[in-house]
Amino acid sequence: MMMELSPCLNEFDKLLFRMDTPRVAIDNAVCPDATVVKVDSARKHGILLEAVQVITDFDLSVKKAYISSDGRWFMDVFHVTDLNGNKLKDESVISYMEQSLGSIHFTKSCEYKGLTALELTGTDRVGLLSEVFAVLADMHCNVVDAKVWTHNGRIASLIYLKDCDSGCQIEDSQRIRKIESRLRPVLKGDNDIRSAKTTVSMAVTHTERRLHQMMFADRDYERTASTSPMMYDTPDVTVQNWTEREYSIVNVQCKDRPKLLFDVVCTLTDMEYVVFHATVQTQGSRAYLEFYIRHNDGTPIDSDAERQRVIQCLQASIQRRASQGVRLELYAKDRRCLLADVTRTFRENGLNVTRAEISTTGDMALNIFYVTDAEGYPADPKTIAAVQEKIGADCLKVKELPLINQQKTERSEAGVGVGGAMLLSSLGSLVMKNLYNLGLIRSYS
């Protein structure tokens, strides 16, 4: 799909525009159980992430993918379904996705335009969100949208605010400094060996990519001693070099879930690696990803220390979004102090929020919280019932996550261990064959 060119452009500008504009094809006929999305374009650093980001923002699940960007050209083939495992049927959605993928070089998100972005990192603990939202309510700040991630004893949050009274963006520099000074000691905690960080900006950014960047900068991947006892299924990540072709080959095996490919590609991109080839395969509940990467200067990973850092960072990027605990969904009329009141109730009942997604539409708020007990174990159902009664069972719904032992059984049945390692190693020989069969690379024989 090509964008319409302005009549004001000369022929040379039109040529450059066409060369830089991705070509997109979405096909429902070629695969019986998935919609096939093809994207090809002139290669540039980060274009794979931009394409995957669009697919992720449409809440699509990638069941299979083949990626190639040797030379000056980039080509991706994604087999996608909706979150229910169905092909895409809505023509308006397909058309909008074509436009979005075809303009990834030229458009930026304006979803949060007119809001103030508040970035927070600090020490995770029970009741922290309650204190943060209480401070914001006291400062007459209305939380319009927010996402909160926790990992290895750290917390990162991106909160979009507006003034409670005027409904406008908060731009007063003195007020912004006061908000930061009030929040910094709350985030630091009593035992934090590092300074907590609070940053207020007017910049428009992709929330989940920014959260990855914040936690990466905070070096959450280094903190393993405080991992929650509920954290299971540590991703299997291996890194080895293919000396003859000067690639580093990264293999990832873990439980499949939405946005998995985005989380991995985001981390590789922000670590300044270029993905030249990749394949994604899913079998049942498991996902197998393989990437052929180099540094920006064209060299492979050259030390054991760097190899271990890549493994740690990729494992952290997958675990950050892990849905630990019980999912609580709050749908209620938005009001000042709503978040402060709800999270205070969690704190008073000893519940810890491991992840949160806050959103408002009109005068209604939809807030999703994942909660555990204070030590990171499954919350007592009686405690959840008491919280429901306090907040209101009509607006606070409970959705239990699958039992830990069920998920461990799934992992065992999937052949983790020797069998899983053999399957991973076999992907190494499959990736080049798949890419060659699709016409994405030339034969080296």
pLDDT tier at 43, thresholds 50, 70, 90: confident
116-207+323-404: CATH, from 3.30.70.260, 3.40.605.10, 1.20.58.110, 2.160.10.10? 3.30.70.260
Q: What is the pLDDT of residue 348?
A: 97
For 13-40, b where at least 16 C-beta lie within 10 A, e where not — what string? eeeebeeebbebebeeeeeeebbbbbbb
The answer, yes or no, to whether residue 20 has pLDDT greater than 80, is no
The answer, yes or no, to whether residue 151 has pLDDT greater than 80, is yes
The answer, yes or no, to whether residue 104 has pLDDT greater than 50, is yes
Q: What is the pLDDT of residue 105?
A: 62
- pTM, full prediction: 0.83
CATH level 2 (architecture), domain 11-102:
2-Layer Sandwich (3.30)
Q: What is the pLDDT of residue 408?
A: 38
pLDDT tier at 47, thresholds 50, 70, 90: confident
Instruction: Average the pLDDT over 6-29 and give the result.
Output: 66
The answer, yes or no, to whether residue 249 has pLDDT greater than 50, is yes
pLDDT tens digits, one per residue of 287-327: 999 999 999 999 999 999 999 999 999 999 999 987 678 99
Helices (H), 26-140: 47-57, 91-102, 128-138
Of 106-120, 162-176, 185-199, 403-417, the range with the lowest mean pLDDT is 403-417
Higher pLDDT, 202 or 47: 47
- Name the segment(s) of the chain with CATH classification 3.30.70.260: 11-102, 116-207+323-404, 236-321+415-437
Write the CB contacts of 303 (distance below 8 Å, at least 6 apart in sequence).
Answer: none
Q: What is the pLDDT of residue 216?
A: 94
Question: What does the block give as tokens for 81?
Answer: 């379904």
pLDDT tens digits, one per residue of 265-292: 999 999 999 999 999 999 999 999 999 9
236-321+415-437: CATH, from 1.10.3470.10, 3.40.50.300, 3.40.718.10, 3.30.70.260? 3.30.70.260
